[in-house]
Structure formats: structure tokens, C-alpha cells
Amino acid sequence: DEAAVERLQRALQGRLRKLALRCLAGLDAGDPRCAPALARLRDLVLRFESAGGADVSAARGGRQWLQLKAFCGGEGGARSGGGGGRSSSPEEWQGCPASPRTAERSGWQNGGSAGSGSASAARDTGGKRCHHGKYHRHCALCNGCPHGRQRQHCTECVGCPHGKLKWCCSACSRCPHGKAKRTCPSCSGCIHGKLKHACVQCWGCPHGKLRQNCAECKGCEHGRAARTCPQCRGCPHGRLKQNCVHCSGCPHGKFRSACMLCSACEHGSARRTCTICKGCPHGRIKRNCRDC
């Protein structure tokens, strides 16, 4: 019944607006992490007023919308910086900068202390957080889709015809025998009814074992795998060369990679982890610095 569906939709929207007002009442609008959510709310109000040519009070639940508008445009705007900070145009807030460099190019950090503070906080945590105070991979605004979800978890973006995520759908990823295709002996198996890579008859050796597990085929004359036999690949000290301190070690009696005297720098740290030797102008290791 279309009328029943419409009534249910109106009731749900009304409850959602009440919940939003209740949450906003205990919200610190001065927190820069709240700015994108407030901007989206402001964007909804502006879209309605620009499309309909009327005040938001004319909408369904107009009293609630007026309260929301007052919070994000009036009280909320005053508490979060209002017109003296960032621009209130919706276009400026759409999307999320992927990195501090992108943020600087798009003018995100030019708008006030809140934005720059959030960006500096993201850098202090290793550059893994976005401007919304979340990790990029967990942020619905950075990795979000038009349906309000993270793209990789949205059945409408990456879903299958059965309304599920493709890799979670038994109808898409499974075979007619009720198993995953790659682990089904009937689909990916051999003529002996086993998976090919685990079949002794297909991949086996004359000794009745899988070739890669047979010491007689892959092994040496000493009954071991050639690559791990100290007698074949060993050194005069009875060890494998790569495990022998005397053969692969340094003059200080240690492995070179573990010797501070060999791998240390003049600053008393290992060269590969020294922020002065391998560091960047931001005081981090270059490979770990998002600003570089």
C-alpha cells in the first residue's frame, strides 16, 4: 500500500530529525570534527530553499527544520566561527581532501584555526587521519558513496544482483555443490576427486609424496632438502652460511643488520631509523611522512 509506505516514511523521517536535534544539543560545534556534518546539514537546508524558493519552515516538519537551521546557520555558525572562518557555501564542503597537500590546494586549511588545527593533529598522528578526525579507511565522508555508506560496504555500489556484497554472496561465489569454487574438488579438482595441488597422483613423485614435500626428489644425498642442508650449503663452521656469524657477520661478532657499530649513524641510532639521517624537514622518516 503506497499510502502506508508514505506514512511510515514520514514517521521515520520525523524520528530521525528528533534524534538529530537531541544529538546536536549535546554537541560541541566548536570542534572542527563536527564541521563537515554541520556543513552537510546546512547544504540540505540551502538546497531545499533554493529549489523550492521558500523558507525551510514550509517543509514537512518545518519547526524541526527551523531548529536545525538555527543550529547550523545561526547558533552553530556563531559557535564554530560563523562567517569569519570557513565559507558556508556547500560546494566548499563537498568531498574530503585525500591528503594535507590536497587540502592546501583546495583551500581547506586557509579558512581558519579550526581547519589548520585539525590538519596538524592529523599530521601528529602519523598522517593517517583525515580532516574529520577519523582514519581515512574508516571515514564515510572520505570513502563514502552517494548512499551514505563506505563504498566497499555498499551493496548498491559493489553489490551483486542478489542484493549482497559479491564476496559475501553464496549465490555468486559458490559452485553448484554448495562450496567455494576454489575449494571444491568437483569444480577445481582433478580426475581423482581431489584438489589438483593436493593430489599425490597428479603432483606426486615416484616415492608416493608431493614433489615439493619429498626429500628424495627435492633433497640432497644427505636426506634433507638441499636448501636447508648444512653439508651442501653450509660453511666450514657447520652452519648455513646465511646463519653463520663467522661467515656473514661483521668484525664485531654480530650479524651486520643487528650490529649497532656497523649500522649506526653518528647520532647513535640505526641509519634506517634515524630521523636526522633519513628524515625529512618535518622531523619524520621520509617513507613514513605523508607531507613528503
Q: What average pLDDT values come out for the chain (292 residues) when binned by 10 residues?
A: 82 82 74 77 78 72 76 48 37 38 39 41 50 70 69 73 71 68 69 71 71 69 69 72 73 71 72 73 70 70
C-alpha cell at 95: 568531498
How many CB atoms are closer than 10 A to CB 211?
Answer: 13
Closest CA relative to residue 288, chosen from 270, 275, 269, 271: 275
Measured distance CA(33)–CA(133) in Å, rounded: 6
Q: 62-69 vs 2-25: helix axis angle to the nearest 10?
A: 30
The torsion of the CA quartet 270, 271, 274, 278, rounded to 10 degrees, works out to -160
pLDDT at 2: 80
Q: Which amino acid is at 64?
A: Q
Q: How many CA atoms lie within 13 A of 266 on its CB side?
A: 2
Collapse the DSSP code of 134 into the 3-class scheme (helix H, G, I; strand E, B; otherwise coil) and give the result: coil
Collapse the DSSP code of 121 into the 3-class scheme (helix H, G, I; strand E, B; otherwise coil) and give the result: helix
How many CB atoms are closer than 10 A to CB 248?
Answer: 15
Closest CA relative to residue 22, chosen from 83, 81, 68: 68
Kindly state the helix (H) or strand (E) to which residue 232 belongs, with its residue range: helix 230-233
Unique residue bearing C-alpha cell 566548536: 30
C-alpha cell at 184: 571444491
Is the distance from CB of 291 to CB of 99 less than 8 angstroms? no
pLDDT at 211: 67
* pLDDT tens per residue, range 204-242: 777 667 766 676 676 676 667 666 777 777 677 767 767
Q: How many Å separate Cα 119 from the centre of its chain?
A: 18
Burial readout 118-135 (b: 16 or more C-beta within 10 A, e: otherwise): bbeebbeeebebbbbbbe
Measured distance CA(147)–CA(149) in Å, rounded: 6
On the 0-12 / 13-18 / 19+ scale of CB atoms within 10 A, 217 is middle
